[in-house]
Amino acid sequence: MLISEIVDANGIVRVAIRSGDTARIVRDAASVYALAMEATRSGEGLVALIHRKGLGDAVDLEAAYRDGRLRSPISHPDPAHLHLTGTGLTHLGSAATRDAMHKKLADDGEEDLTDSMKMFRMGIEGGKPAAGTVGVQPEWFYKGNGAFAVAPGAPLVSPDFAKDGGEEPEIAGIYVIGDDGTPFRVGFALSNEFSDHVTERVNYLYLAHSKLRNASFGPEILVGALPEDIRGTSRILRGGKPLWEKPFLSGEANMSHSIDNLEHHHFKYALFRQPGDVHVHMFGTATLSFADGVRTEPGDVFEISAPDFGLPLRNPLSMADAVPVRVKAL
**pLDDT at residue number 105:** 42
> Are 272 and 266 a contacting pair, CB within 8 Å?
yes
pLDDT at residue 64, as a whole number: 96
Is residue 229 left, alpha or beta, with left meaning phi > 0 and alpha meaning psi from -120 to 50? beta
- As a whole number of angstroms, the distance between CA 164 and CA 302 comes to 14
Give the pLDDT score at 116.
81
Predicted pLDDT of residue 118: 85
* Amino acid 106: pLDDT: 44
Q: What is the pLDDT of residues 267-290, one digit of tens each?
A: 999 999 999 999 999 999 989 999
The confidence score (pLDDT) of residue 114 equals 79
Residue 68 gets the label, from left (phi > 0), alpha (psi -120 to 50) or beta, of: left
CA angle 132, 138, 140 (to 5 degrees): 125
* Cα–Cα dist 288/160, whole Å: 22
The residues of the chain scoring below 70 in pLDDT are 94-112
pLDDT of residue 108: 45
**How many Å separate Cα 251 from the centre of its chain?**
14
Cα–Cα distance measured from residue 310 to residue 62, given in angstroms and rounded to the nearest whole number: 10
Secondary structure in 3-state letters for 4-69: EEEECCCCCEEEEEECCCCEEEECCCCCHHHHHHHHHHHCCCHHHHHHHHCEEEEECHHHHHHCCC
Residue-level pLDDT at 95: 62
End-to-end CA distance of the chain: 53
Note whether 142 and 195 are within 8 A (CB). no
